[in-house]
Structure 1
Amino acid sequence: MTTANLTRSETAARSTTVTVRDYRVELDLSGAPDRTRPGFTTTTTVAFDATATETWLDFLGLAVESVTVNGREVAVDFDGARISVTGLSASNVVVVRAIGEYSRSGEGLHRFLDPVDGSTYLYTQYEPADARRVFACFEQPDMKAPFTFVVTAPDGWEVVSNRPADTVTVDGPNQTVEFSPTLPISTYITAVAAGPYHRVESSWSRGELTIPLGVLCRASLADHLDADTILEVTRQGLDFFAEHFAYPYPWGKYDQVFVPEYNLGAMENPGLVTFTEAYVFRGAATAAQYEGRANTILHEMAHMWFGDLVTMVWWDDLWLKESFADYMGALASAEATEWTDAWVAFANRRKAWAYLQDQLPTTHPIVADITDLEAAKLNFDGITYAKGASVLKQLVAYVGREAFFAGARRYFRAHAFGNTTLDDLLTELSAESGRDLDAWARAWLQTTGVSTVTLDDDHIVQTDPRPHRLAVGLYDFDADGALVRRDRVEVDIVEERTPITLSPAPLRLLNDGDLTYAKVRLDADSLVTVERSLDRVVDPLARGLIWSALWNATRDGELAVGRYLTMARNFAPAESNTALLTAVLSNASFAIGHYLPTAERDRCRQEWLESCWTALHSAAPGSGEQLAFARATAAAATVDAGRAADIRALLLGETPPPKGLALDPDLRWALWTALAATGAATTDDLDTELTRDDTASGRTAHLHALAARPDRDVKAAAWTRIFDDTALTNDHLDAVIDGFRAGDRRDLIGSYDDEYFTRLRPTWERRSIEIARRIVVGLFPAADSLAAVDNWLATNTDAPAALRRLVVEQRDHLARALRVRALG
């Protein structure tokens, strides 16, 4: 039986008996351009000490051809996931020769064929445990070791890894690149990329330290790569972290490669950070997109210390890297780059993710109880990232910034190239700050849930009481009619009710400055002020907190959906912060589709489309706001055909677009998909657009649009392909799923609800967790009752915990939607 899952207990036991000295990993990727070859040769030589006579190495691949233990070839004992190794001595060298499999799911070694020029590109993605798809290893974060990678690939390709190349040997059509050994790192942050990548080089220096910098992308995207902007943010970040961490960047070089069909935003492999190539903008992009990319660059850079230099022992303490990186990404953006409003997007968008996750029945403490790898895979969530970062922001205020960074520096020095738990961090922070942080950790890191804070006359009232340091901003109209803060009162609250004395003000804003992690409500008078004058609030962070409060109240059924939508229609056109604008437009669309009673939906969809269409034409030419409304118009037009003729005329060049609006390929596809979803585009239309944009992105968008057509046969074909076509890549699978769901045509897809539930367990058993997760979440029925999902949960109590978690979470989203609709 294949045991691909790994448990915390068994890996902890393994690390007590095995100490790894080093790895040498040889990969023959010379056959990668031949699409008929599913695999590659991988040879691992691992040296380790052992106190037991047997152990196992992890590997997921096509075959294990041979195993040698201390120079003696032994019988292969491989169950499909584990290679048993026996006859061990105190000191051992094990060699495993195997055949790995090229991935199409973004897990392991992903192989991509560029339709533009026919080139093949490879890159690895391992977190949390997919290095074993490429080489035999001890796949757990606490068994660190130096790695030497040797890669054979076609001559002329860029071949990169965590470290610089030591030697390059050319033999006929191929080259063999041997990289210098890494410092001790975990398996999941080792990395290789190979292919005819376009490369831009630079460097960063501080004192006597000079770090080579590289930015890479596919050759066919080279014209769109704004490498200078990326490198500027990179240097600013390295300056910031060098100053604040006082630990020299340890990884020798800093390459950043933008890769296709990526499952994540980015991954912090030391010396070779991988990013989704969605960050290479093929057309116009909003300020929020550039700010988001800068934040991601700095988030991954923070990991070079938090996560790579010092790594958690096991995935329970995933927050030790992700919460810190999320906090540091926003901090460095605000203080070291042009994106000085980075905390606005954090308060409104990142924390919205955390609030949503923290209200699910599957919420968990920031320091989670992760029993196995399947649970770890699902814990890369809003709790671990955004709630953890929010709590760290509060911790910095609690212990003081100087003490916080001094404690971080102690932490790096004490645990460099090692592994830690929560206690190790608290020890260093307590030593610097002089504060006992155990109570703080119990209140914030080891509990679940989010408090809701309200003003009740002369008291601040909180549910789920926790210690908070927060501020109340008192906003009034100035001589020009702007709403500005005239006073601010800071207060510590612990109990359910805390007395406070506040002078009257048109707007009293709880958690002003976003000091704590809590949902806040606007009192009745402040809500009236906001309904009339939200566009007059000058400070973008205050506006972000107000929009967040309005959205949370809407989701919780305390603010009527119609009132929220009215404010969105009235004030979104005046919102100048594109991160806030994008969030409002998305939330409004979601509210119409999920929270409005069915009888009101068609009318509101028509009103929303008209609002977006009007704002698109009145926005400043070429502005980010204009682009945001163009995208919102495309989204609105997928469920209302009222502007189909106008959109079609734009796409066919029969009428000019609004002044300043570039109909770039991505926007064109969004508009064509809207037409397809309402039956206003034909297959020929979509094929013609593909001829115009026959790129990787174009082919994915074409799949999406084809599956969006409102035809029963189209939906049936999409359904079959989702479950049966295992050749679909991760991106193509998403495209077909999104197309199947496009248009909210329950009359066409509701009949698949029963089959969805019968297919859940077979899908989980047969597909990788990444692909299965996309199917489980993407196809969850938007039904009008909970009966079917409740029946599945009741009759599948023995289903894998990770699968049940996904279903329980989707059930909760549906239950919330039904609850809010009923209030309407």
Structure 2
Amino acid sequence: MVLTVVAADIIVSLGREREAPSRGISLALAEDRAARVSSLAYDLSLTVPPARDQPVRGHVTASFVLGDATRPLAFDFAQPAERLTGVTANGQATEARVQNGHVVIPPSRLVEGANLVHFEFLAGDEPLNRNDEFMYSLFVPARASLAMPCFDQPDLKARWRLSLDIPLGWTAVSNGRGTRRSTEPGQAVLVFEETQPLPTYLFGFAAGKFSIETSERQGRTFRMFHRETDAAKVARNRETIFDLHAQAVAWLEDYTAIPYAFGKFDFVLIPSFQFGGMEHAGAIYYNAAGLMLDEAATQNQLLGRASLISHETAHMWFGDLVTMKWFNDVWMKEVFANFMAAKIVNPSFPTVNHDLRFLYQHYPIAYDVDRTDGSNPIRQDLANLNEAGSLYGAIIYQKAPIVMRQLELLVGVGAFRDGLREYLKAHAFGNATWSDLVSILDARTPEDIAAWSRAWVEERGRPTVRTKLSVSGGRIERLAFAQDDPLGRNLAWPERLQVIVGVPGEPIAFDIRLTGGETEVPQAAGLPAPAWVLPVGGGLGYGFFDLDPETIDYLANSLHEIGDPLTRGAALVALWESMLEGAVASSRVLQELMVALPRETDEQNVQQMLDYLRTAFWRFTAADDRPSLAPGLEKLLRSGLDRATTTSAKAAWFAALRSTALTPDTMAWLTQLWSHEVTIAGLPLAEADEADLAFDLALREVPGAAMLLDAQVLRFKNPDRKARFQFVMPALSADPAVRDTFFVSLKDVKNRAREAWVLDAARYLNHPLRAAASQKYIPAALDLVREIQRTGDIFFPKRWADASLGGYQSVQNAADVRAFIAGLPTDYPPRLRWVLLSSADPLFRAAKLLK
């Protein structure tokens, strides 16, 4: 088979005799191919050598029906031309033209109707995540073309047949069921059956030294691939993991009235996987640490595991069965996965307040972006898939489910469910858009869903809702709420609120609907003057709630006196947001947290208060003031640890203590704990816990810190956890020169291959305790964001920016970052500018509040 690479200036492209397709996959290119190509299938074979430095060799045959054969057809292959070693089209060796990440097949080799195009190639390693003992493909959002020639767009779904030639001693898993295995000298060949139609980003495979657990639930076989070496840990988690998957499948089959569509159900637990999970149909990937929990897992970790499993399982319907036509609607698959997960988890945790869980899982994280100058709409225009990764983030994962809950309230629970059933059935194994769903829901309600969508889905930011309370003669004269658009667009956000009025005795709740402008609560007139008014009852309302001064004062002094846990939690979030907007001093909020925590009885509220406490201590307390606060804070946390009655509660208190400890007494006790000289009753520390404790001790430069780290290396029994620890170790060195050298090494893309490890290291490099020495990293770290967006996976740019700015609070740091952003070139990608602005927002606010 022959490949001829032709000079770039004579490359032929779609309908233009002398112009090649642009880099990436443009919307225009994708629309043209979707209109011409149908009945697509790939037959892919890959040979994975034992040595990582040897290339993966492959060949793939694309079979398809072509509607218009008069113009060239571009496949995507984002590798140098020399990695494409052969092309034939319809049995004829082809002079293929390669440029800008595309292989252009001339019309002379194409026919109208059925076509076969065959490629031989050296696969790019970038999306193959190759390790010494395992590998896994990760093609989302449009990275399959880094590995092989294909049509790398979501609306060209294909049936896939895969053959993997892998080292002996390895096993493998893919979307299709394995049909046979044969052996050759030093290698094993696995063949997988043909899949249902899948886009490139949902096709996947993993291979390596994995153990396999198998279990049957409700007549369906589930398989779990993992690399955990602790047999007791596997046994402790195994049944729950299988149960949660089976419960999620059963719930979704009932809710959607559609059976699971992808045959077998496997999942792979990958050490330090860069996402929480990835929904490859029939072969879900998970970050192993999220499912294989330690004995001392917190309630949040237990709930998080259930939510993650439910989220990825929901994708089998929302995203896999019905896929967005273009990545501008990627939010749709994520919103329904998160929204459904919140419903699915409820029966498995009957004692948990799930409305409170929904509040904490979504609102604080969504606000972290939506309050900033880097906020973005839920649904965004997308001209090219090379920017698709920047669409992911808190707005589509956390804000969108809040918005969807408001839509469900607007349409009605039953009508909403029936609309989703119609949507899934109408587009099964195909693609759909937000407009398709809006049309279905519009027919089921008198509400104008399209108008509602404009404010909530198409525009960025959150409303401001201002309390307007008039009291006369000891009674409410008038209570109203004014909704404003802080960005001056005159938008109105229709939303349901529950207003709770803290009158003497039992608080009174009123349900209202905001439609923009000012909304009065006539039922409140004549009630006794309240101590507080909260428009965030039930955890429903979304926005910045500009509370009246009396309510802010009450919350800052007496939040702990509010009786209902959900109302208390919603009030806590509202108080925190008020602090960030400058309505109440951070020192007052910190003091109220220290008063409230010993009195708090709901474990979810305890966890959120501890999270806010840590942030208030490190981000919103001046460095010079921390030593005077530390003894009282550590006493509070030690007391909470001793008082906690469950392992999960103890784990939450201990994590807060370990991460905030400063005094010599506490550091000495933690060192004894690491050395096994003392223990914590009711809280066993696992290998991962001891490793994190070792890092925290080294960060604080306890005596013998370097030897402590070396000793921890020798303790490891799990090779993956050991490798992660050794990678991060230089970031904890007491020698600034070692840390500097390590930071510089991260500029090389090869050293950023394990993204989760890199982020752990970056957080330690930029920890507040190292701020004075590490602030010099800021410009270079921010300068890397654009390259990281180009070379890394979807969440890496934002998480890198967060880690790089997470330890700073000074006015000078804030000014330097503002200057960096202001000095960006005019062609800097707008979405990456939003990333920098949202990541820098806590720094900007801290500098302002502490000034």
TM-score in terms of structure 2 length: 0.87
Question: Which one of the candidate residues 832, 839, 844 is aligned to 1:815?
Answer: 844
**What residue in structure 2 maps to residue 55 of structure 1?**
73
Alignment deviations for residues 636-657 of structure 1 (CA, whole Å, 9 cap, x no partner): 13x6656222211222233x22
Q: Secondary structure at the match of 1:146?
A: strand
Q: How does 1:709-788 map to 2 (within 5 A)?
A: 709-724=733-748, 726-728=750-752, 729-756=754-781, 775-780=800-805, 782=808, 784-785=811-812, 786-788=814-816
* Contact 1:554–1:560 (CA under 8 A) maintained in structure 2: yes
* Contact 2:618–2:768 (CA under 8 A) maintained in structure 1: no
**What residue in structure 2 maps to residue 13 of structure 1?**
32
**What residue in structure 1 maps to residue 131 of structure 2?**
112
Gapped regions of structure 1 (runs ≥ 5):
114-119, 479-484
Greater mean alpha carbon deviation, residues 166-175 or residues 765-774 = 765-774
**What residue in structure 2 maps to residue 481 of structure 1?**
none
Alignment-mate amino acid for residue 77 of structure 1? R
C-alpha distance in 2 between matches for 1:364 and 1:678:
38
Quick check: 1:39 aligned with 2:56? Answer: yes
**What residue in structure 2 maps to residue 470 of structure 1?**
497
- Aligned CA distance change for structure 1 residues 162 and 756 (closer, same or farther; 3 Å): closer
Q: Secondary structure at the match of 1:596?
A: coil
Quick check: 1:318 aligned with 2:318? Answer: no
Quick check: 1:198 aligned with 2:237? Answer: no
Question: Which one of the candidate residues 660, 682, 701 is aligned to 1:660?
Answer: 682
Q: Secondary structure at the match of 1:392?
A: helix
C-alpha distance in 1 between matches for 2:407 and 2:566:
20
Alignment-mate amino acid for residue 481 of structure 2? I
C-alpha distance in 2 between matches for 1:249 and 1:625:
37
**Distance apart, 1:730 and its partner CA:** 1.9
C-alpha distance in 2 between matches for 1:471 and 1:758:
45
**What residue in structure 2 maps to residue 690 of structure 1?**
713
**What residue in structure 2 maps to residue 117 of structure 1?**
none
C-alpha distance in 1 between matches for 2:402 and 2:79:
40
Q: How does 1:597-612 map to 2 (within 5 A)?
A: 597-612=622-637
**What residue in structure 1 maps to residue 104 of structure 2?**
84
Alignment-mate amino acid for residue 732 of structure 1? W
* Contact 1:451–1:519 (CA under 8 A) maintained in structure 2: yes
Gapped regions of structure 2 (runs ≥ 5):
1-7, 9-20, 470-478, 486-491
C-alpha distance in 2 between matches for 1:187 and 1:735:
30
- Aligned CA distance change for structure 1 residues 408 and 617 (closer, same or farther; 3 Å): same
**What residue in structure 1 maps to residue 651 of structure 2?**
627
Matched residues, number? 797
C-alpha distance in 1 between matches for 2:122 and 2:832:
30
C-alpha distance in 1 between matches for 2:784 and 2:215:
51
C-alpha distance in 2 between matches for 1:331 and 1:687:
46
- Aligned CA distance change for structure 1 residues 757 and 383 (closer, same or farther; 3 Å): closer
* Contact 1:236–1:337 (CA under 8 A) maintained in structure 2: no
**What residue in structure 2 maps to residue 170 of structure 1?**
183
* Contact 1:358–1:450 (CA under 8 A) maintained in structure 2: yes
- Aligned CA distance change for structure 1 residues 647 and 463 (closer, same or farther; 3 Å): same
**Distance apart, 1:241 and its partner CA:** 1.2
**What residue in structure 1 maps to residue 399 of structure 2?**
387
C-alpha distance in 2 between matches for 1:236 and 1:806:
37
Q: How does 1:390-539 map to 2 (within 5 A)?
A: 390-433=402-445, 435-457=447-469, 458-464=479-485, 465-474=492-501, 487-500=508-521, 501-502=523-524, 503-504=527-528, 505-520=530-545, 522-527=547-552, 529-531=554-556, 533-539=558-564
**What residue in structure 1 maps to residue 672 of structure 2?**
649
Alignment-mate amino acid for residue 671 of structure 1? L
C-alpha distance in 2 between matches for 1:59 and 1:111:
19
C-alpha distance in 1 between matches for 2:547 and 2:663:
33
* Contact 1:375–1:801 (CA under 8 A) maintained in structure 2: no
- Aligned CA distance change for structure 1 residues 261 and 86 (closer, same or farther; 3 Å): farther
C-alpha distance in 1 between matches for 2:360 and 2:625:
28
C-alpha distance in 2 between matches for 1:370 and 1:752:
32
**What residue in structure 1 maps to residue 3 of structure 2?**
none
- Give the alignment's Cα RMSD to 1 decimal: 2.8
Question: Which one of the candidate residues 151, 164, 173 is aligned to 1:160?
Answer: 173
**What residue in structure 1 maps to residue 817 of structure 2?**
789
Q: How does 1:171-190 map to 2 (within 5 A)?
A: 171-190=184-203
* Contact 2:52–2:131 (CA under 8 A) maintained in structure 1: no
**Distance apart, 1:305 and its partner CA:** 1.2
**Distance apart, 1:26 and its partner CA:** 1.3
Question: Which one of the candidate residues 568, 579, 584 is aligned to 1:543?
Answer: 568
**Distance apart, 1:229 and its partner CA:** 0.5
C-alpha distance in 1 between matches for 2:779 and 2:544:
37
**Distance apart, 1:767 and its partner CA:** 6.7
C-alpha distance in 2 between matches for 1:691 and 1:618:
34
Alignment deviations for residues 652-695 of structure 1 (CA, whole Å, 9 cap, x no partner): 233x2232121222222222222211211422111101101253
**Distance apart, 1:754 and its partner CA:** 4.9
**Distance apart, 1:704 and its partner CA:** 3.2
**What residue in structure 1 maps to residue 122 of structure 2?**
99
* Contact 1:23–1:44 (CA under 8 A) maintained in structure 2: yes
* Contact 2:318–2:333 (CA under 8 A) maintained in structure 1: yes
**Distance apart, 1:747 and its partner CA:** 2.4
Alignment deviations for residues 315-370 of structure 1 (CA, whole Å, 9 cap, x no partner): 11112211111111101112465475333222123221111211222322222122
C-alpha distance in 1 between matches for 2:227 and 2:749:
27
Alignment deviations for residues 396-415 of structure 1 (CA, whole Å, 9 cap, x no partner): 11111110011111111111
Alignment deviations for residues 374-431 of structure 1 (CA, whole Å, 9 cap, x no partner): 4321221111121111111111111111100111111111111111111100111122
C-alpha distance in 2 between matches for 1:673 and 1:751:
22
Quick check: 1:69 aligned with 2:92? Answer: no
**What residue in structure 1 maps to residue 475 of structure 2?**
none
Question: Which one of the candidate residues 110, 134, 140 is aligned to 2:147?
Answer: 134
Greater mean alpha carbon deviation, residues 247-256 or residues 600-609 = 600-609
Alignment deviations for residues 707-756 of structure 1 (CA, whole Å, 9 cap, x no partner): 22343223222222222472452233223322312343232123344555
**Distance apart, 1:486 and its partner CA:** 5.0
**Distance apart, 1:161 and its partner CA:** 1.2
C-alpha distance in 2 between matches for 1:77 and 1:20:
25
Alignment-mate amino acid for residue 266 of structure 2? D
Alignment-mate amino acid for residue 53 of structure 2? T
Identical counterparts, % of pairs: 26
**Distance apart, 1:771 and its partner CA:** 5.7
- Aligned CA distance change for structure 1 residues 577 and 4 (closer, same or farther; 3 Å): farther
C-alpha distance in 1 between matches for 2:123 and 2:537:
54
**What residue in structure 2 maps to residue 247 of structure 1?**
258
C-alpha distance in 2 between matches for 1:109 and 1:89:
33
Q: Secondary structure at the match of 1:139?
A: coil
Alignment deviations for residues 180-230 of structure 1 (CA, whole Å, 9 cap, x no partner): 21111211011112223222223344xxxx532222211525542312101
* Contact 1:349–1:583 (CA under 8 A) maintained in structure 2: no
Q: Secondary structure at the match of 1:128?
A: coil
C-alpha distance in 1 between matches for 2:617 and 2:382:
37
- Aligned CA distance change for structure 1 residues 624 and 760 (closer, same or farther; 3 Å): closer
Alignment deviations for residues 566-608 of structure 1 (CA, whole Å, 9 cap, x no partner): 1221222444444433332222222232223454344334543
C-alpha distance in 1 between matches for 2:348 and 2:446:
29
C-alpha distance in 2 between matches for 1:605 and 1:3:
57
**What residue in structure 1 maps to residue 694 of structure 2?**
672
Greater mean alpha carbon deviation, residues 640-649 or residues 414-423 = 640-649
TM-score in terms of structure 1 length: 0.90
- Aligned CA distance change for structure 1 residues 746 and 364 (closer, same or farther; 3 Å): closer
Quick check: 1:699 aligned with 2:728? Answer: no
Quick check: 1:586 aligned with 2:611? Answer: yes
C-alpha distance in 2 between matches for 1:758 and 1:344:
39
Q: Secondary structure at the match of 1:125?
A: coil
* Contact 2:368–2:838 (CA under 8 A) maintained in structure 1: no
Quick check: 1:359 aligned with 2:378? Answer: no
- Aligned CA distance change for structure 1 residues 466 and 725 (closer, same or farther; 3 Å): closer
